Structure 1
């Protein structure tokens, strides 16, 4: 299989206005935390790939160009060398690599009410005596310092947008010899990841279909060399081979020596759509994206009498479902999460979306 490493444009060379122009405007879609919108280039690439498939012109080597481009672009987003990046389809199997490496009777610390793709893989090892302690996200470092084998958290909490202090978490984990794992799914695309948290966690995982606007079925892991040495490639397969096309038969397993050893075979069409999206987010000035997204979110908070939170996600209490009902009736795309309503502002949103939310709530 041909491995193509495209040129790596410097991050920050794509103006925010140009990135915004790559999306078709969908008024009232305030739900990037559930699923991002596709770039027009992503939709075009998928249509072209379907046409090529229909004509019998699609080949694995052609698809691998998109996989390689996506891997290289994500490495720039995460601020790591491309050799440290593994691809997958979802985050939970990638978290599962770390969970399987916890010793019998080991101890794991997780954030309370974190997304279950981070917590369930560890809970599934209870039969080996693995215990999982859930603590408030602000107390992760303190809990890790008490002793554990792994401390795992989302950088940005899916439920309410709180941002974890992953630097403190990794420092505490290092002091007790634990592995730190950070899920950046709800952060990558709006929260700058360079130089952290890639440098602030032994393992990071990310599903790219939310804020990075790739199709579902595209996910990544990054590992430090020391962490990679502790992980077993549980899904060892031909695509993870040192030479993939020499790894399709037999028992002579020769896996890649770098992050590719943890690859799973890609769902081809998803990666065709991912390549242009990830390239755009690798080139954009992410600080400008952060200012735009958080600016809209904090504007809404202020107009609702809430304090700013520095997150692109806004969570509103909604015990009886009436808030969600009013927003739905106003034609706004939002999500119900954890007994509240979650709004997630991204690059396609503007002040009109904030006005519509306020008007819908004021009308009550």
Structure 2
């Protein structure tokens, strides 16, 4: 596969990635992220850091993420964890309303709704999920790419069914952003924790909101960083929150955002369709070598209930993961055909 110059530059921005097939669990940083965080640490140690130094970093990162997922920055709120974002959404569900989730979806976007009293939570398999949406469904909750299996949701079918039944949509793009094209404008709300495919330090997350869903939520986490002017919002009781999605911001863990800014900028500059073609190409190559059906996914899984295959990979120095009784090997832009060959050799196939 002939790669664009921009993708090749991005690949060269990693110090190492050979044998790392666990990005679906945790990503690895680019060299610019490492350099930026080391510099930030040095400045902090030298007493040369001020909290206001980080404002531009946060806003720049917000802008890069907005470009990556196809929305404007005013539709993007900053966060720290997916479950906190989901909890905010769960709090906005009207009493008596139904929320439809995917069987086996990641707990961080499901548990907050199960904890919410006064609403109904129903689940359905991803296969045929769109058909499970009814007139009683107020909110549809699903991951764009399933964490356990790497399967990509049938977004057009889900959106069509949601529109037909007048349901809102909440999509978790944590396992998609940075490897699969994401258009957050298609959904009423999205969540993304960026420490996987975007290779950011843990603690940098985003929520996007449609203009029709935004008024339905209350900024329960509002603090000084949700203010229209954050440095004039440090003390109450006067509260002048931002007029857009930024009123849902939580105060940033500064060092993490320093590392996130160059990483998200790099991916926002890439053609993510090319990234998906490259990573799924490696995935299909592995399927061919293992004699299993092609999955056309960046995350390749196969049955490994006793973790025998996972143990062989670990013994060979290959990092992968096991989820729901299956081995999960995930390919990103730093992986190559040599990684496929190494897996095949380790498994003795």
Q: Same fold (TM over 0.5)?
A: yes
2:321 is matched with 335
SS in structure 2 at match of 1:222: strand
In the alignment, is residue 231 of structure 1 matched against residue 225 of structure 2?
Answer: no
Structure 1 residue 287, shift from structure 2 partner? 1.9
SS in structure 2 at match of 1:306: coil
- The counterpart of 1:191, out of the listed 174, 180, 185, is 180
Single out whichever of 146-155 and 222-231 deviates more from structure 2. 146-155
CA RMSD of aligned residues (A): 1.4
Distance 1:291 1:175 in 2: 32
Structure 1 residue 132, shift from structure 2 partner? 1.3
Distance 1:80 1:89 in 2: 20
Distance 1:57 1:309 in 2: 51
1:33 is matched with 24
Aligned residues: 347
Q: Residues 97 and 136 of structure 2 are in contact (CA less than 8 Å); yes or no, is this contact kept in structure 1?
A: no
Q: Any residues of structure 2 matched to 1:232-311 within 5 Å, and which? A: 232-311=218-297
Structure 1 alignment gaps of length 5 or more: 1-11
Q: Any residues of structure 2 matched to 1:1-364 within 5 Å, and which? A: 15-125=6-116, 127-128=117-118, 130-193=119-182, 196=183, 198-362=184-348
SS in structure 2 at match of 1:185: coil
1:9 is matched with none
Distance 1:356 1:276 in 2: 31
SS in structure 2 at match of 1:315: strand
Q: TM-score, normalised by structure 1?
A: 0.93
Structure 1 residue 173, shift from structure 2 partner? 1.9
Distance 1:337 1:307 in 2: 19
Structure 1 residue 246, shift from structure 2 partner? 1.1
Distance 2:231 2:98 in 1: 40
Q: TM-score, normalised by structure 2?
A: 0.97
Distance 2:335 2:260 in 1: 21
Q: Residues 174 and 193 of structure 2 are in contact (CA less than 8 Å); yes or no, is this contact kept in structure 1?
A: yes
SS in structure 2 at match of 1:145: coil
Structure 1 residue 177, shift from structure 2 partner? 2.6
Q: Residues 200 and 260 of structure 2 are in contact (CA less than 8 Å); yes or no, is this contact kept in structure 1?
A: yes
Q: Residues 14 and 283 of structure 1 are in contact (CA less than 8 Å); yes or no, is this contact kept in structure 2?
A: no
Structure 2 alignment gaps of length 5 or more: none
Distance 1:33 1:346 in 2: 9
Structure 1 residue 36, shift from structure 2 partner? 0.8
